[in-house]
Amino acid sequence: MAGKLSRRTFLRWSSLAAGTLLVDPAQAMGMLKPLPTIDNPLAYYPNRDWEHIYRDQYKSDSSFTFVCVPNDTHNCRLRAYVRNGIVTRIEQAYDVHTYRDLDGNHMTAAWNPRGCLKGYTVHRRVYGPYRVKAPMVRAGWKAWV
């Protein structure tokens, strides 16, 4: 069984390493160096050119709300963010507490979060390669067979 480490060998090497640390901890910890003290980390950081890319990652041109109905019966109201005419992400609309029914009853904020993973990824189906790209015309009963 070459290359396998038995439990006994592992314990032997572990106890040897622990004994070395106990005998001379200064020598064992000598390779560690203290961190330099930095008063202002933002001024110390040399290159911050990448930050505009990070901030613009979720930037959107516009947004709209819609009701996600086809996935289930919850009718979740979601907000879609559009960039260059394409929906880039979908989040929940955080205004559930402002909803009112026809009788004037308010919703509770405890309904947050709304939406499911299928609803949050519906834009992948809209722009995906297997989407319906043209209107479908139903053929006769036996014409499609």
Q: Which pLDDT does position 80 carry in this prediction?
A: 93
Residue 145, token pair as written in the block: 């067979």
Q: What is the pLDDT of residue 86?
A: 92
Q: Report the distance separating Cα 132 and Cα 117, nearest Å.
A: 22
The candidate with the shortest Cα–Cα distance to 82, out of 90, 93, 71, 74, is: 90
Please give the Cα distance from 127 to 122 (Å, whole number).
Answer: 9
Contacts with 82 (C-beta within 8 Å, 6 or more apart), sequence order: 60, 61, 62, 63, 64, 88
The model carries a pTM of 0.55
Note down pLDDT in tens along the chain; length 145 residues.
567 889 999 999 999 888 877 877 777 677 778 888 888 887 777 777 888 888 888 899 999 998 888 656 678 888 999 999 999 999 988 887 787 888 988 877 776 777 788 888 888 888 889 888 888 877 777 776 6
Listed in sequence order, the residues at least 6 apart from 127 whose beta carbon sits closer than 8 Å to its beta carbon are 86, 87
Domains and CATH numbers, the chain: 59-127 (2.20.25)
